[in-house]
Amino acid sequence: MKYTLKCLKCGKSYSSDHYLCSCENKCDALLRTVYDETSFVVDESYSGIWRFHHWLPIQKIDPRLIDTGSCFQTYQSTKLAEHLGLQNLIICLNAYPQCQTGSFKDLEAQVTFQRIMDTFDSGKPLVMSSDGNNAISFVHYSNILRYPIFLFATEDARVKRIWSFSKSNSYTRLFPIFGDYYDAINLANQFSRVEGYLSEGGYRNVGRRDSVGTMILDATRLLGQMPDHYFQALGSGPGAIAAYEASERLMNDGRFGKKPPKIHGSQNAPYTPMYDAWMNQSRTIDERFQKESAKQMIDQTIAHVLTNRYPAYSLTGGVYDILTETNGEMYSVTNEEIIKAQGLFERLEGISIVPEAGVTIASLQQAIHKETVHPQDTILVNITGGGRKEIRRERIPIEPYRFLPKRFQINQKTFEEKKQHSKELIQDALNTYGNKVAVACSWGKDSMVLLHLARTINPNVPIFSVLTIHKPQETFEFIAKVVEQYHLTPKIFMVGDTIPPVLREKNIDVTLLSPTEYQIHSEKIKQATSHEIYTANPDLCCQLLKVVPVRYAYATLGLHAWFSGLRNSEGYTRKYVPEIEKISHTETKINPLLTWTEEDIWKYTKNNKIPVHPWYKKKYPDGRKIRSLGCEPCTVPIFDHESERDGRWRKTLKKGGECGIHTRSASERL
C-alpha cells in the first residue's frame, strides 16, 4: 500500500481503497496523507507535478494526464525581485499555457480525478462547489477523463467566471445558486449525501492539498533547501496547509532543513475572516463573517474566490494551527492594492495574473514594509493563476442543468424512435469505419439486442468477445447454440490453458492468452488472504481476465472503433456516458443502446425472438432474478427495485461497479 490517511485528532488510520475525506469518528480535524516513502524522491522520467508522484495520493498516472496535464513554472525572479529589493524571490507561476485553464486548480483537479479513479469508488459522480477557478479546472479535466461531476456554483459565478473550452460538457451537471459561495458549498454537501454520489471534499481532500504541496517540493528541488517564507492568498485555506504538510515531510527526510517556511496568508478586504481572527489571536472566526449580512462585504471584493464563510481555519490541522506552528502572518489587502499589484507583476514579469494572485503580491509588499521578511530571505510566492488574457481559445459559458420529470429523463423518445436512432448510429459507424468496427459481445441481453440490430444493417459485421475461466458452463453452451443458429463467426479471446470443450467441438475461433500472470497473482492472494482473487481483489481479477484481453483483441483485430451494449440506466457508473466516446485518436466506442431501458431491451428481445441466456430465466423463491450477466462467482440474483448492476460483485467493495473495460482508455499502460 503506497499511503494511508490519518486523522490528526483521534489518530485513526484509513487505507487508500476508498475515496475518503473525513474521519468516520466525525472529528473536527483534517485527514493527512502518510506515505510509505519517507525520503524526498524526484522521478525525472516524468514531467510537471508527476515527478513527485511518490508523495501524491495516487496509485498510477493515467496517460491522458501525462499527455494533457497542467503544471507550474518555478523560477528565480529578477525584475520583480529587484523592484522589491529582494535577493532570493522564487516565483511559482501557475499560468497559461503550462496550466491549461490558467489556474493552479488544474493541479488539484488532475490529482483528485486520478485519486478517485484508483479507488473502489471509481465511477461515482463527484459533487463539488466552486465560485470560479475550481469549476473551470474540474470541468476541463472532467471532459478529458470522461468523469462525471455535479457542480454547485453561485449564479454570479456561472455568468461571470465559469467557462469551458468545450461546447459539450456531457459529464458536467451545473446547478446555479442564487446566494453566495457558502450557499453553494452547503447545498453541495447536502447533495453529496445521496447514495451513489461522493463529496469532492474541498479542503479536506488530500488530493487537492498534496498537489499544491508539490510547489514546495519543486522550490526545494531548485534551491536544495526549503524556502524561508511562503506567500499565498487564502480563501478556504488549503494552500497554506498544503505548504506546511509538504514541508513537514521534507523535515522528516532530514536533508532540506529543520524549520518549515513561515506561512504568509492574505485576504481581500473588507471580507477578511481569517485575517481578523488571527490578528485577535483567536481560533474562532467572528460570526459577523458567517451571517447572511456578510454577503454585503463579499460583494465589495474583487477576489471573489477568496470569500468562503467557513474556511479551514479552526479545525485541527487547519490554518490557525499552521500559522501558529510557523509563527506566520496574515494580511488584509484592498481592491486598489490588488489592481496595482496585478499591473506591477504584468509589467515586470510579462504576464497577467488573476485578482487572487494580486492579493498575494500586495501582501508581499506589505510584508517588506512591515519587515516581516528581509531582503536576503528566500521567499516562495505562489501565483495561483495567470495568463488568462493571453488565452486565444474560445471560452464558452456552461449552461445550467435543467431537471426533467423522471419519465422524460428516462424515455425522451418513443421505443420506435430509439430503435431508429440506434440503427442510424450503427449505420453511420459502419459507413465511417467499414470492417474496422466490430460488435463487442458479452452474450448478455444487451449484447444480443445490439448484435441483432447491427446484423439487420450488415449481416457480416465483425464480432469479438472476451470470455473468462469463471464464466458458467451455461454461457459456453449458449454461445455455441447462438453461433450455430445464426451462422456467426465471432473472434473469441480468453485467458486460459484450454478452450471450453463445447466451443472446441463447434470449431469456434478462440484465441488463448497465457494464464501465467493470472495464476501467479491468484496464488499469492490465496496464500495471503485465504480467499480467491475474485473475492479479495476483484479489480485485479477483471483487469487480468477482461481488460487486458479486450485491449489485446482490439489491437490484434486492427479495429478503429467498436460497438458496446452499454446503457445509462443500468447503474451509477454509466449515467453520464455519451453515445460516442472518442477514447483516443485510434479508438472510438459507440453506444447505440445508451438511452434504452431494461424494459426496452426485453421488449425488443420478445418482438424479434432473440435467444436469451438461460440464467435470465432462472426463478428464485423470493422473487429475485439475474438482471446483469457476469462471471459465475460474481453474479447473484437481485430484486426489481434494485439498480440493475447491483448483482455484480455483490459481496465486494466493487458492488455494482465496472470490470474496467469501459473505464480505461485505449492507451492505458497495462
Tell me the three-class secondary structure of 476-499, residue by residue.
HHHHHHHHHHHCCCCEEEEECCCC
For the chain, how many structural domains are there in total?
A: 3
| β strands within 274-357, DSSP E | 329-333
Distances (CA, A) of 206 to 21, 117, 320, 388, 618: 7, 14, 18, 27, 46
Q: What is the pLDDT of residue 653?
A: 63
**Span 289-300, pLDDT tens digits:** 988 888 899 999
**What confidence score (pLDDT) does residue 572 get?**
64
Q: Is residue 29 a part of any domain in this protein? A: yes
| Residue 111 identity (one-letter amino acid) | V
Q: Report the C-alpha dihedral over residues 432, 433, 434, 440, rounded to 10 degrees.
A: -130
CA 468 to chain centre: 29
Structural domain harbouring 261: 3-390
**Domain assignment of residue 554, yes or no:** yes
Strand partners, 385: 103
Give the separation between CA 655 and CA 649, rounded to whole angstroms: 5
The DSSP 8-state label assigned to residue 546 in this structure reads: I
Residue 664 lies in a domain: no
**217 shares its domain with 327:** yes
Predicted local distance difference test score (pLDDT) of residue 571: 73
Nearest to 586 by CA among 510, 488, 667: 667
Task: Say yes or no: 628 and 611 in one domain.
Answer: no
The answer to whether 627 and 644 are in contact (CB under 8 A) is: yes
d(CA 670, CA 668): 6
601 and 628 inside one domain: no
Same domain, 590 and 525: yes
399 occurs within a structural domain? no
Residue 453 corresponds to which amino acid? L
Please give the pLDDT value at position 90: 98
| Whether residue 607 is found in the same domain as residue 634 | no
Contact 361, 333 (CB under 8 A): no
Query: Domain with 505 in it: what CATH number?
Result: 3.40.50.620
Give the per-residue pLDDT at 405.
Answer: 40
**Which CATH number fits the domain that encloses residue 104?**
3.40.50.1100
- Residue 667 within a domain: no
In terms of domains, do 481 and 550 share one? yes
**402 within domain boundaries:** no
Structural element, H or E, at residue 529: helix 516-529
Let me know whether 180 and 223 are in one domain. yes
For the chain, residues with pLDDT lower than 50 are 403-411, 665-670
Distance CA 637, CA 629 (A): 10
Residues near 489 by beta carbon (within 8 Å), at least 6 away in sequence: 463, 483, 509
- Is omega for the bond preceding 176 within 30 degrees of 0, making it cis? no
**Are residue 451 and residue 505 in the same domain, yes or no?**
yes
User: Which residues is 229 bridged to in the sheet?
Assistant: 262, 379
Does residue 366 sit in the same domain as residue 464?
Answer: no
